[in-house]
């Protein structure tokens, strides 16, 4: 891969898959940081392929298809329309396992080369704070390689996510707010305490573990490959729902690296939209990362939406999101709750995908701004997570 500069410029970069292996962590391995790390420490390329297979060989390129029913419903013409990339059958039921797989491969490379400060018998725990798709992805991957995992969840959590975590052998810690706690989510506080005691941050947020952004790009590479194979290298909009922000940043970056022109339409809900707020000020600040708290702070009111997986009160990866918004000439869309609800119905009923309200929130963004798009516009929405109830 030709290298991309730190401002996100990738004009000369072109990621192309290597062979036709169905597992994207094999097919695109040469473009990922864990693979460069492995080779630079003496591991053979053949051994990296073996390592992917042994870690998790369930990843497959997820389908992207023009939905004629959705395109008709939204009055797009035959030359335009809505393509849906359906991630609901991915490992763990969402895109989160892509982020975590690149962390896990990095750890396993270090372990198998004997350069990690532990042995397979004395592995430190992985740690994550989540009670949703990220936790399930973490538990799925950790279970497969028998790596201990601590999951920090809210005191009130229950239901199918918790029972799935239990069945996968995760070590669950419920986190009530303690009177001496500083402001902030108690599950994040307990997670950070565990990391400071030696646990490994198995996180889907770049500031906690930047290696998660590495594997997230596979979604964008696959998307670009599928669209370019279908003769389309130029989209009018790529709708991606934003919670912590890692997904949008890595998808957009991946699409760009693989030569797909795709303006990022980052979607938040009216009940929690810290990225929309940051975008209005940070877009004109060339030193935005140094002025973090001028642009990003916790959403002041109780975050609320049916799309409850994207209610992060801060967009942790906002700097990378703003880089992508600027580089692709994109925008932030704030979806009204009525469109979040309508999108959650259209996913199963019109498109025929068993997608969750969080997973269809990108479609809510399209509903919000449909009137501003031409009838022959070509747009992509990411259906990122399965409905579990
Ligand atoms: C299904 C689904 N889609 C999208 C997102 C948003 O991803 P990110 O938090 O990286 O912005 C999440 C986050 O939990 C999710 O569960």
How far does residue 167's CA lie from ligand 1's centre (Å)? Answer: 23
Rounded Cα gap, residues 285 and 319, in angstroms? 11
- Candidate from 99, 244, 252 with most ligand 1 atoms within 8 A of CB, to mutate: 244
Give the integer Cα–Cα distance in Å for 112 and 145.
13
Alpha-helical regions (H) of the chain: 24-27, 33-40, 45-55, 68-73, 96-112, 133-144, 159-167, 186-196, 212-229, 246-257, 274-282, 292-295, 318-328, 337-346, 361-369
Q: For a substitution probing ligand 1, which of 309, 356, 357, 364 has the most ligand atoms within 8 Å of its CB?
A: 309
- What is the biggest distance separating any 2 CA atoms in the chain, rounded to whole angstroms? 60
Q: Which residues contact 237 (CB under 8 A, 6 or more apart)?
A: 262, 263, 265, 330, 366, 373, 377, 379, 380
CB 88 within 8 A of CB 354: yes
> pLDDT tens digit string along 71-95?
999 999 999 999 999 999 999 999 9
pLDDT of 275-290, one tens digit each?
A: 999 999 999 999 999 9
Residues 6 or more apart whose Cβ sits within 8 Å of residue 144: 55, 56
Write down the pLDDT at residue 273. 98
Domains in the chain: ranges and CATH: 64-94+215-383 (3.40.50.1100)
Report residues whose beta carbon is within 6 angstroms of any ligand 1 atom: 94, 132-134, 204, 241-248, 309-310, 358-359, 384-385
- Ligand 1 pocket check: which of 384, 386, 388 to mutate, most ligand atoms within 8 Å of Cβ? 384
> 388 to each of 12, 130, 232, how far by Cα in Å?
41, 16, 33
User: Average of pLDDT values for 255-271?
Assistant: 98
Residue 7: band (very low, low, confident or very high) from pLDDT cuts 50, 70, 90: very low
> pTM of the prediction?
0.95
Chain centroid to CA 149: how far? 20
Tell me which of 244, 310, 321 to substitute to probe ligand 1's pocket, judged by most ligand atoms within 8 Å of the beta carbon.
310
Ligand 1 closest atom vs CA 99: 10
* Mean per-residue pLDDT of the chain: 95
Find the 239 Cα to ligand 1 centroid distance in Å: 13
1: pLDDT confidence band, cut at 50, 70 and 90? very low
In three-state form (DSSP H/G/I as H, E/B as E, the rest C), the secondary structure along 63-85 is CEEECHHHHHHCCCCCCCEEEEE
pLDDT tens, position by position, 140-150: 999 999 999 99
pLDDT of residue 311 exceeding 90, the answer is: yes
Could you tell me the distance, in angstroms and rounded to a whole number, from the CA of residue 77 to the centre of ligand 1? 30
CA of 82 to the centre of ligand 1 (A): 21
pLDDT (tens digit, 9 = 90+) per residue, 221-237? Answer: 999 999 999 999 999 99
Note the pLDDT of residue 116: 97
Nearest CA, atom 1, ligand 1: 385
User: Percentage of residues in the chain with pLDDT exceeding 70?
Assistant: 97
pLDDT at 13: 52
Q: What separation in Å is there between the alpha carbon of 21 and the centre of ligand 1?
A: 27
Q: Could you tell me the pLDDT band of residue 6, with boundaries at 50, 70 and 90?
A: very low
Cα of 311 to ligand 1 centre, how many Å? 9
């Amino acid at each position: 891969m030709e290298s991309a500069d730190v401002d996100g410029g990738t004009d000369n970069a072109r990621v192309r898959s290597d062979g036709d292996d169905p597992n994207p962590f094999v097919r695109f391995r040469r473009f990922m940081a864990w693979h460069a790390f492995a080779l630079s420490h003496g591991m053979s390329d053949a051994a990296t392929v073996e390592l992917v297979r042994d870690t998790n060989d369930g990843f497959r390129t997820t389908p992207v298809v023009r939905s004629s029913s959705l395109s008709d419903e939204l009055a797009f013409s035959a030359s335009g329309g809505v393509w849906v990339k359906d991630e609901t059958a991915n490992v763990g039921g969402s895109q989160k396992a892509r982020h975590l797989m690149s962390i896990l491969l990095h750890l396993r490379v270090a372990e198998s080369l004997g350069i990690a400060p532990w042995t397979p018998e004395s592995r430190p725990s992985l740690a994550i704070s989540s009670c949703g798709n990220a936790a399930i992805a973490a538990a799925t991957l950790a279970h497969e390689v028998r790596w201990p995992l601590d999951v920090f969840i809210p005191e009130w959590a229950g239901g199918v996510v918790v029972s799935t975590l239990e069945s996968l052998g995760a070590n669950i810690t419920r986190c009530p707010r303690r009177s001496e706690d500083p402001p902030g989510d108690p599950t994040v506080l307990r997670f950070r305490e565990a990391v400071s005691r030696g646990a490994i941050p198995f996180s889907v947020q770049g500031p906690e573990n930047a290696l998660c952004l590495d594997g997230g790009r596979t979604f964008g590479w696959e998307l670009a490959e599928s669209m370019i194979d279908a003769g389309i290298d130029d989209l009018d909009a790529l709708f991606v729902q934003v919670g912590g922000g890692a997904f949008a940043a890595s998808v957009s970056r991946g699409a760009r690296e693989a030569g797909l022109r795709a303006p990022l339409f980052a979607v938040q809900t009216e009940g929690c939209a810290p990225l929309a707020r940051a975008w209005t000020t940070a877009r004109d600040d060339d030193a935005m990362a140094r002025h973090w708290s001028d642009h990003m702070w916790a959403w002041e009111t109780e975050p609320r939406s049916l799309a409850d997986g994207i209610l992060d009160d801060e967009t942790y990866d906002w700097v990378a999101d703003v880089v992508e918004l600027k580089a692709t000439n994109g925008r932030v869309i704030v979806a009204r709750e009525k469109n979040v609800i309508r999108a959650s119905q259209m996913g199963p009923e019109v498109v025929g995908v068993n997608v969750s309200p969080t997973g269809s929130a990108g479609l809510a963004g399209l509903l919000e701004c449909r009137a501003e798009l031409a009838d022959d516009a070509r747009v992509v929405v990411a259906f990122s997570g399965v409905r579990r109830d």
